[in-house]
């Protein structure tokens, strides 16, 4: 496929620093390589460029086949450097379509570049934009910052709505996110395309261990929106009901030191361990060992860990948010509760531990659900198809 005499060229703007480590066992890298291969298959000669907003001062780019990663460094000059990178890429191979993940800083930037070069722009919304982030809520409690915080959120909310309406297409990862966005972008094509999860593949599933010790896990970033203080309270309550149960927190993040202290204060030192970062290739084993995944987030745009757990037949107990409600069928493949509901979350985890056959049935149903609803090949084809359709139908006159 060629547009205006040029090969199809897709440029993505990303904040995923994991793409700056070009390891073939890296899940983000492999996912982008799969997208690039899919595009090349459907549009021979096509190129995918990813501009990564790098947090560190220096980072090297890399190229493999038809995928190139271009880092943009320096927080104060990131906008200028990003525009420069877009210009250089466009001059080398005219851009056919651009995508951006955030409808704020780089969203406005990419839209401006799209207008300048006559290139359509796809917005990607991976979170629930219209649910207040826990970190912002904590900041607003401080009396000095309260008024400024409300004004800042109002301005950003207004700007996000304007940006959403200006995109040529929007990709969301959950049905409820699509519904909320449609109120502000009624004329923009909105498509639900969850992020492909590589584990959703039956031939790669690890068989569960028989007579395994009861284990409840968390997998993810140790950040405020995950509300791991509630997770620890549930762990303490479950431990009192099921003393033989162990708990593992998989992942790292800014909250780790505080959470380790909190866990010790709750008397969990002997039954809970903080495992830190675990390579993606080993996560299948973690899920296969677990009796249940417990997710207590107060903000969750998708909840890919729920899909990962389900792919290994592990049922989940989660807070009832827009993303999890697309993954977990309450009472069938797992359980859903309101954020902060320690008693309800405890009851559901306890039920899974005390009724292993019921838990196994729920896990099997969860695996069947994600195999159909979150088939990586179908999701990959849908995302690449949106690139092609937007590029074909959205070219503006320069």
Q: Look at 58-62, 324-328, 371-375 and tell me which has the smallest mean pLDDT.
A: 58-62
Query: What is the reported pLDDT for 57?
Result: 58
* pLDDT band at residue 258 using 50, 70 and 90 as cut-offs: very high
Domain locations along the chain = 2-196+376-394, 202-373
- pTM summary value: 0.85
Whole-number Å distance between alpha carbons of 243 and 51 = 49
CA dihedral 178, 297, 355, 275 (to 10 degrees): 130
* pLDDT band at residue 60 using 50, 70 and 90 as cut-offs: confident
| Chain mean position to CA 107 | 18
Query: What is the reported pLDDT for 73?
Result: 79
Please say if the pLDDT value at position 69 is more than 90.
yes
Please say if the pLDDT value at position 206 is more than 90.
no
Domain 202-373 indexed as CATH 2.60.120.260: no
* pLDDT band at residue 132 using 50, 70 and 90 as cut-offs: very low
Q: Pairing relation of β-strands 121-125 and 169-172?
A: parallel
Q: Would 2-196+376-394 and 202-373 be classified into the same CATH topology?
A: yes
Query: What is the reported pLDDT for 250?
Result: 97
- Return mean pLDDT, the chain: 86
Whole-number Å distance between alpha carbons of 374 and 381 = 12
Q: How far is CA 11 from CA 104, 109, 177, 217, in A?
A: 18, 13, 24, 37
Query: What is the reported pLDDT for 134?
Result: 45
32 vs 163, which has greater pLDDT? 32
Please say if the pLDDT value at position 204 is more than 60.
no
Whole-number Å distance between alpha carbons of 72 and 109 = 14
150 vs 262, which has greater pLDDT? 262
**What are the backbone angles phi and psi of residue 178, rounded to the nearest 5°?**
-60, -40
Spatial strand order in the sheet of 62-64: 62-64, 67-72, 47-53, 9-14, 97-100, 121-125, 169-172, 190-192
Query: What is the reported pLDDT for 209?
Result: 59
Please say if the pLDDT value at position 59 is more than 80.
no
Query: What is the reported pLDDT for 149?
Result: 47
Q: Look at 10-24, 34-48, 305-319, 333-347 and tell me which has the smallest mean pLDDT.
A: 10-24
Mean per-residue pLDDT for 59-80? 82
**What are the backbone angles phi and psi of residue 124, rounded to the nearest 5°?**
-110, 125
Q: Quick check: 190 and 267 in contact, CB under 8 A? A: no
Domain 2-196+376-394 indexed as CATH 3.40.50.2000: yes
pLDDT (tens digit per residue) in 7-51: 899 999 998 888 887 776 788 899 999 999 999 999 999 999 999
Query: What is the reported pLDDT for 176?
Result: 83
């Amino acid at each position: 496929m060629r547009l205006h005499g040029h090969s199809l060229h897709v440029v993505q703007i990303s904040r995923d620093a994991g793409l700056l480590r070009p390891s073939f066992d890296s899940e983000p890298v492999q996912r982008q390589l799969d997208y690039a291969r899919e595009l090349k298959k459907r549009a021979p000669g096509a190129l995918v460029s990813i501009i990564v907003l790098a947090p560190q001062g220096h980072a090297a780019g890399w190229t493999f086949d038809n995928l190139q990663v271009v880092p943009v460094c320096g927080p104060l000059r990131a906008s200028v450097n990003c525009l420069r990178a877009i210009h250089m890429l466009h001059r080398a191979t005219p851009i056919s379509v651009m995508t951006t993940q955030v409808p704020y800083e780089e969203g406005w930037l990419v839209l401006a570049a799209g207008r300048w070069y006559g290139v359509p722009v796809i917005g990607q919304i991976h979170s629930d934009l219209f649910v207040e982030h826990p970190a912002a809520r904590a900041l607003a409690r401080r009396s000095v910052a309260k008024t400024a915080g409300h004004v800042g959120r109002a301005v950003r909310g207004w700007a996000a709505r304007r940006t959403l309406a200006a995109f040529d297409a929007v990709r969301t990862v959950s049905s409820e996110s699509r519904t909320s966005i449609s109120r502000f972008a009624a004329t923009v094509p909105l498509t639900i395309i969850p992020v492909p999860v590589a584990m959703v593949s039956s031939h790669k599933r690890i068989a569960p261990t028989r007579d395994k010790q009861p284990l409840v896990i968390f997998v993810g970033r140790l950040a405020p929106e995950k509300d791991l203080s509630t997770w620890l309270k549930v762990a303490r309550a479950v431990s009192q009901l099921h003393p033989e149960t162990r708990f593992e927190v998989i992942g790292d993040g800014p909250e780790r030191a505080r959470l380790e202290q909190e866990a010790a204060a709750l008397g969990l030192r002997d039954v809970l361990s903080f495992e830190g970062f675990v390579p993606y290739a080993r996560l299948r084993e973690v899920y296969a060992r677990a009796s249940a995944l417990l997710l207590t987030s107060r903000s969750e745009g998708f909840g890919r860990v729920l899909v990962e757990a389900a792919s290994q037949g592990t049922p989940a107990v989660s807070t009832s948010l827009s993303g999890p409600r697309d993954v977990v069928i309450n009472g069938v493949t797992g359980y859903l509760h309101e954020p902060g509901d320690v008693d309800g979350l405890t009851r559901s985890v306890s039920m899974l531990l005390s009724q292993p056959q019921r838990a196994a049935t729920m896990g099997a149903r969860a695996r069947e659900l994600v195999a159909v609803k979150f088939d990586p090949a179908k999701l990959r084809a849908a995302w690449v198809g949106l690139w092609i359709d937007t590029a074909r139908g959205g070219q503006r006159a320069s």
